[in-house]
Amino acid sequence: MDKEKRSKWYHRTGGIILWIIIFYPVGLYLMWRYASWSKKWKLGITGIYALFMMGMFNLPEQEVSNLNTQTIKPNVISSPKPTSTPKLTEKLNVVATSQIVKKVDGKFRYFFDIRNIDTKNFEGSVSITVYNNLQSSALGGDTFKTNKPIEPKLGTSVYFDINTGPTSVHGENGITKFKYVVKKDNQIINEGEGVISSKLEDLSGF
């Protein structure tokens, strides 16, 4: 009996091939330990095993990548895009200026002149807000809509009441400036800012 027959069955060529088929790691070990094959054959079979294992490890990553892509896409598609009010390419030169401040029944009434200094009629709305130098948020304001078109070179006077007076009354906490936004068909056609008038009239005693 030759040496191969005297050895255990899994040390023989047939046993090693069987192990390579049913459980590759054990078969690979037995091949290098007991098989009398050439080094070229052993390296070739080992290379095939290495490629097989690389494919097995890469497959889960690809599946996870596909799953993440499928999860993200619906969110991107369904997320509403932020909308912004488009501005007209042609502005109308409608401006607001501070006229006077009057104290009436314990409150302060801020008067503004809305004037159309353009060559076209204006019909829309003007929002005016007032501020002081200590705060970035508005301390009061109102929106005024035209009852009829304002013709070129003409204007109208508007006002609103708030509790805070100008700096001559409330010092550094007083109202110092204003901002205005002019809209037509819900589109901004002009905007600006200015200084509150220093004119103050106290009507509390009347």
pLDDT in tens, 43-81: 777 777 777 777 766 545 445 445 444 444 445 445 556
Whole-prediction pTM: 0.56
Report the mean per-residue pLDDT for the chain.
Answer: 80
Name the residue among 139, 125, 129 with its Cα closest to residue 98. 129
| CA–CA distance, 191 with 91 (Å, rounded to integer) | 10
Which of 54, 78, 102 is the C-terminal boundary of a domain? 78
- How sure is the predictor about 183, in pLDDT bands with cuts at 50, 70 and 90? very high
In Å, the largest CA–CA distance within the chain is 134
Name the domain boundary from 30, 47, 78.
78
| Residue 85 covered by a domain | no
89 in any annotated domain: no
pLDDT at residue 35, as a whole number: 74
Q: Of 78, 106, 138, which residue constitutes the final position of a domain?
A: 78
Q: How far is the C-alpha of 133 from the C-alpha of 178, rounded, in Å?
A: 11
Residue 138: give the domain boundaries.
94-202
In a domain, 88, yes or no: no
pLDDT tens, position by position, 102-159 = 999 889 999 999 999 999 999 999 999 999 998 889 999 999 999 999 999 999 999 9
Q: Is residue 82's pLDDT more than 80?
A: no
Residue 19 lies in a domain: yes
Task: Supply the pLDDT for residue 11.
Answer: 67
Which of the four pLDDT bands, split at 50, 70 and 90, describes residue 175? very high
Based on the fold, state whether residues 74 and 99 are members of the same structural domain.
Answer: no
Residue 190: pLDDT band by 50, 70, 90 thresholds?
A: very high
**Is residue 196 included in any domain, yes or no?**
yes
106 and 191 fall within a common domain:
yes
CATH number of the domain enclosing 108: 2.60.40.10
Name the strands in the sheet holding 155-162, side by side, starting at the edge strand that comes first in the sequence: 155-162, 107-116, 94-104, 200-202
C-alpha distances out from residue 9 to 23, 46, 81, Å: 16, 22, 71
Number of domains in the chain: 2
Residues 64 and 98 in one domain: no
Q: What is the pLDDT of residue 2?
A: 47
Residue 188: inside a domain, yes or no?
yes
Mean of the pLDDT values across residues 31-53? 76
* pLDDT range class, residue 29, cuts 50, 70, 90: confident
Q: Is 67 a domain residue?
A: yes
| 84 is a domain residue | no
Instruction: Average the pLDDT over 86-104 and give the result.
Output: 83
